[in-house]
Structure 1
Amino acid sequence: MDPIIIIDTDQIQKDLGDISFLDCSRKQDHTFEHCNETERDIWLYNRPHNYVDYATDENGLWAVYVRSGMQHITVSKIEPDMYVVRTWDIYELNATAVADTFIMCGVLYGLKSAVDRDTVINFAYDLYRQVE
């Protein structure tokens, strides 16, 4: 499929293929079964239906997520063409131990609270040096 050029916003969209799917079966009345109701992986930051968090810094786009069957956070560096440059498994950080994360200068920071106005950074991991 050729890219679609959106002239008024200067954006180019292209077919990314099957990058996600809905794992719920459809009932005969066209409603969905409850997804992952009894057996599911942990949610990122212990928030319902939160599978991935995106962050950007001067190095580019990052994806923060939990791999299926794992408890720790995984970070992937993604290029504009959707190529995954590198992936880090952060075994030191349980995916439910922080309320949110952000990345600045290649350092992953974990926040204690995502709702309090005054919160603290309770985790930091340098992705390039691979040190906490």
Structure 2
Amino acid sequence: MKHAKTTPARGFSLIEMLVGVLIISFGLLGLLTLQARALQASVTTEDAQRAALLANEMAALMINANTVNVDDATVVKPWAARAADPASGGMPSGNGTVVVNGNTARITLTWKPTGSATDSYRYATDVVIP
């Protein structure tokens, strides 16, 4: 009895190829999602660092003046205007306030990240000068 000669399989079938493309597509989609989240986390961290720097700037002005009662018109208002202006190193949709209570001042910065209508962030620090 003669055995039938079998030919080796050549290439992929169409279904195998589509399954491969589908698996690669899911992997690439996952990588793109990860990239977008990493970028968002980076922007959020940058905003938080900028808020800390702005608050530290106001605290340094108070410490150098040796009082928490700094002049509102010449010190606090220009600082708050700069904190609200992203073009000059401020926060997106930012607001800077200084509330003095005795020998304690609370410096607060609030902002909303660019492109977000619901997220809101807040950074606050207290300065005490006896």
TM-score class normalised by the smaller sequence: under 0.3
- When Rg is computed on C-alpha atoms for both structures, the one with the higher figure is 2
TM-score, normalised with respect to structure 2: 0.25
Q: Which has the higher helix share?
A: 2
Q: Which has the higher strand share?
A: 1
TM-score, normalised with respect to structure 1: 0.25
